[in-house]
Amino acid sequence: MKLTCPFCKTEYAADVAPGAAVACACCGHAWRTGGKRRVPVLWLMTLACFVLALSVFAGVVFVRNNEAAAKQQEQPLAIQVSNVRTVADADGQEHFMVSGTIRNQSAAIHGVPDLVVSLRDADGNVIITQKFLPPVPLLDAGETAEFAHTVAEFSADAKKVGVEFK
Ligand SMILES: [Zn+2]
């Protein structure tokens, strides 16, 4: 890079960074090399804009992924508990019998995962959970299957019954 002292006009061939503080060896005048001094600032701003755009883009992708995950969660199978009643076994011990429907609300055939019944007390605390097998291994698009499960354990405190996929 060619440097020219602004005071005495002496020329130097020196490898000096733009914006660097230099002093003339001839007259002692000190100045900062100019010209491209603002370029690094411009580059930084461009970089900052790029990073900002990238983070906005990443945010959009993240939101879209969340939406996709939410859609995935409400799809494709749905469980509806239609009936909960107590039945007594041969020993007179009471049990909850939970029945309901599994519906494939998607447009494709789906495997049905294991089911979990949970019994909760009046405060919503889980007292008993029990896994059970689905009535069918597969559900075609739009198809439904009825399930009925007798919970082996019993608690008189159980007030709410829920069934979900494991
Ligand atoms: Zn000079």
Per-residue pLDDT tens digits for 92-151: 889 999 999 999 999 999 999 999 999 999 999 999 999 999 999 999 999 999 999 999
Distance CA 110, CA 12 (A): 78
- Percent helix, strand and coil across the chain, each to the nearest 5: 20, 40, 40
The type of residue at 86 is T
The answer to whether residues 85 and 160 belong to one domain is: yes
The type of residue at 6 is P
**The total number of structural domains that make up the chain:** 3
Provide the pLDDT for residue 20. 86
Cα(32) to centroid of ligand 1, in Å? 13
pLDDT in tens, 37-69: 455 566 666 666 566 676 666 666 666 666 666
Cα(34) to centroid of ligand 1, in Å? 15
The answer to whether residues 156 and 105 belong to one domain is: yes
CB 10 within 8 A of CB 19: no
User: Token pair 């006009």 is at which residue?
Assistant: 9
The answer to whether residues 161 and 80 belong to one domain is: yes
The answer to whether residues 54 and 119 belong to one domain is: no
The answer to whether residues 150 and 103 belong to one domain is: yes
Cα(31) to centroid of ligand 1, in Å? 10
The answer to whether residues 17 and 85 belong to one domain is: no
The answer to whether residues 62 and 137 belong to one domain is: no
Which residues have CB atoms below 5 A from the ion given as ligand 1? 5, 7-8, 10, 24, 26-27, 29
Three-state DSSP class for 85?
strand
The answer to whether residues 112 and 93 belong to one domain is: yes
The answer to whether residues 88 and 127 belong to one domain is: yes
Cα(9) to centroid of ligand 1, in Å? 6
Range list of β-strands (E), the chain:
2-4, 11-13, 21-23, 30-32, 77-88, 94-104, 110-111, 115-120, 126-132, 138-139, 144-150, 160-165
The answer to whether residues 92 and 66 belong to one domain is: no
Q: Which domain holds residue 5?
A: 1-37
The answer to whether residues 110 and 129 belong to one domain is: yes
